[in-house]
Structure 1
């Protein structure tokens, strides 16, 4: 089954204390690369999230976003910086003494000095938060899988369509190729007859035709192309990730087509080579989306 590397999945899980949202987005990438963003109190579970994702994803750039909602996730404590408070009081007393001020330092004065009060946030991790997180992540991965599978099926249909057109051209060129030598032989006979007034021997024409046939022989390339087309079609039915293999086959097919284009001394074959290269570009573009 063909799976696309592009997809999106979202799921949420909740209990009486918290609600967890998991969003997962994947795009094309040569390897498998992760970016995971989650609250601090969940960072210890990052590897478990990644391990779970690896059961669904083999290739692609993966972005996982975890958000948590709940009133009891953070405990706030207020502390006083006593050293700083002592300095403030000491300075105030010095100012009072220097300028003979009557008023004394009051609690209201101290409350105005916000810098001496420090607020600390202490994360609170509910006991069942891990189970809740994995429930949300698993659901998001299932939704991601559905989307990637559906898009993969559409990609497979398009690839089969393009591949069929490519294979038909290969068969057509293979059937047409033998006539290229015969046409060359006929043109050569006419040309030599004109130049030598009919005094050229048939054996010379046959020899020249044989040399030409050897130079423009594309049977090996066409045979390999037929094999690649068959392998490509069969690979589309495999269950494991196939993107890299398909990409390799497209490269090999392109190499064979380039060789045919350089060998074939015929306008009809050259035209078909252009069409085959156009189809290979479409195949290559689509293969880049496959896991």
Structure 2
């Protein structure tokens, strides 16, 4: 079964003094591209988290977010009193205290918004806590992979329909091919008759056979059938083979284009146009296949 590259997963971990939320979103991409938003205290373990995510998702443009919300009384941040006092004094020196009785509180409010008003003590990573975070990341990955599989199942259904449509159109091309040959023979015969010249019938037949063989599409029919069968086989594969499906669809396009260039017959050309339309829909879907 194929998987989509699009998905979303979320998991929440509640610890005694903090709430940790993990969110993972992925979109289609040729390679694995991870954008990680992680609090500074966990930066030294970012490579570990990246490895877990890349091994699970393998491919796609991935956004990973780790949010920390303090729910207990403990906090790693405190007011940097010396810096705040200095800010207030400098604001007063600039004459920004105004005439309000609450000018000190107003200045304090302004000072608290300025850089370095809060200082954060660097926390050492608790290994048990980080193990719990890793477990939460794995839970979010399980959710996003389920999302990818569900969307992949819908994509697979549509891809099989498109392949079936191309197969049916190819069968119709095979049916009208004898008419195309007969039409070509008749057209050439009429063109020669219009010349009102005596011709060597044997030579005419030789030239006619050569001309018809030049526009023979039997090889293209056989190769296209093989490509369609191979495409279906790869839809059944348990491997992630979006790139292989894209390559097969390109080969299908080559054969369809060649049939179109050789057809020289309006009913067949109309069928080829329909085949191209179905193939374009296949290619659009494959862009999102893992």
**Which runs of structure 2 are paired with 1:227-246 in the superposition (5 Å)?**
227-246=226-245
The alpha carbon displacement at 1:173 in A equals 1.5
Structure 1 residue 264 and structure 2 residue 244: aligned?
no
Q: Is residue 2:66 matched to residue 1:66? A: yes
Report the 3-state secondary structure (helix = DSSP H, G, I; strand = E; otherwise coil) of the residue aligned with 1:123: coil
**C-alpha separation in 2, matches of 1:225 and 1:51:** 40
In 1: Cα distance, 2:63 partner to 2:125 partner: 25
1:144 aligns to what?
Answer: 144
Show CA shifts across 1:116-150 (max 9, x none). Answer: x9652113356232022112211111110111000
> For residue 33 of structure 1, what is the aligned residue in structure 2?
33
d(CA) in 2 for partners of 1:43, 1:51: 14
Aligned partner of 2:218 in structure 1 is 219
| TM-score of the superposed pair, with normalisation by structure 1 | 0.82
Asked if the contact 1:5/1:60 (under 8 Å) is kept, the reply is yes
Return the index of the structure with the highest Cα Rg. Answer: 1
> Residues 9 and 144 of structure 1 are in contact (CA less than 8 Å); yes or no, is this contact kept in structure 2?
yes
Partner residue in 1 for 2:103: none
Shift of 1:79: 6.4
- 8 A Cα contact 1:14 1:132, kept in partner: no
Tell whether 2:44 aligns with 1:47: no
Deviation by residue 1:211-250 (Cα, 9 ceiling, x = unmatched): 2212212222221111110110000011111110111111
Question: Measured at CA, do residues 230 and 167 of structure 1 come closer, stay the same or move farther in structure 2, by a change above 3 Å?
Answer: same
- What's 2:78 paired with? 76
Give the secondary-structure state (helix, strand or coil) at the position aligned to 2:63: strand
Q: Which range moves more in the overlay, 28-37 or 179-188? A: 179-188
> In the alignment, is the contact (CA less than 8 A) between 1:36 and 1:65 conserved in 2?
yes
- Find the aligned partners of 2:227 and 2:194 in 1 and give their Cα distance: 45
Give how far 1:290 is off.
Answer: 0.4
Name 1:164's counterpart in structure 2: 164
Q: CA deviation at 1:47?
A: 1.3
Q: What's the CA shift for 1:194? A: 4.1
C-alpha displacement of 1:251: 1.2
263-272 vs 235-244, greater mean Cα deviation:
263-272
Aligned to 1:249: 248
Q: Give CA deviations for 1:145-194 in whole Å, capped at 9, x if unaligned.
A: 11100000000000000100001112222343243222211232234234
Structure 1 CA distance for aligned equivalents of residues 124 and 19 of structure 2: 13
3-state SS, counterpart of residue 57 of structure 2: coil
Alpha-carbon distance change, 119 to 176 in structure 1, aligned in 2, over 3 angstroms? closer
Is the CA contact (8 Å cut-off) linking 1:185 and 1:205 kept in structure 2?
no
Alpha-carbon distance in structure 1 between the residues aligned to 2:273 and 2:287? 22
User: RMSD between aligned alpha carbons?
Assistant: 2.7
TM-score normalized with structure 2 length: 0.83
Does the 8 Å contact 2:42/2:125 carry over to 1? no
Name the CA distance, whole Å, in 1 between partners of 2:161 and 2:56: 28
- Which residue pairs with 1:200 in the alignment? 199
CA contact (8 A) 2:26 2:63 kept: yes
Question: Which residue of structure 1 lines up, in the alignment, with residue 135 of structure 2?
Answer: 135
**What count of residue pairs does the alignment treat as equivalent?**
265
Q: Output aligned runs, 1:177-188, within 5 Å.
A: 177-188=177-188
How far 1:267 sits from its partner (Å)?
1.0
Which residue of structure 2 lines up, in the alignment, with residue 285 of structure 1? 284
